Amino acid sequence: MGKLQLRFTRNRCYATLKGRTDVSVYRVLAKDSSSVAIVTASQLPGVSGRRGVDVRISHLHFEEGRYWVHVGNGKFREFFKRVGRTTSRR
């Protein structure tokens, strides 16, 4: 538990688990005062071209010092805590 680390830049999400990092490009679709909806696209291993692109819409819900997303069939949530900003804001 608590092994997955996500790092967001302006248009990419870096997911690191057990020393392996996967990168997904994302775009913000909508946002309100407590959440954001994003669409991500990542290349599936071993599948080339457009057929190998996995596109997903995710809804991130923000709470005090953490955020959560629905996982699986939507009955469960996965929570992430904010560790801190690693780069300066420009």
Tell me the pLDDT tens digit for each residue of 41-58. 777 777 777 778 888 899
Number of domains in the chain: 1
Please check whether residue 86 lies inside any domain of the structure: no
Whole-structure pTM value: 0.73
By CB atoms closer than 10 A (0-12, 13-18, 19+), residue 37 is: middle
Q: What region does 75 belong to: left with phi over 0, alpha with psi -120 to 50, or beta?
A: alpha
Q: Is residue 68 part of a domain?
A: yes
89 in a structural domain: no
For the stretch 16-49, pLDDT in tens is 999 999 888 899 999 999 999 999 877 777 777 7
Q: How confident is the model at residue 1 (pLDDT cuts 50, 70, 90)?
A: low
- For 39, other C-beta atoms within 10 Å of its C-beta total 14
Domain range for 17 is: 5-81
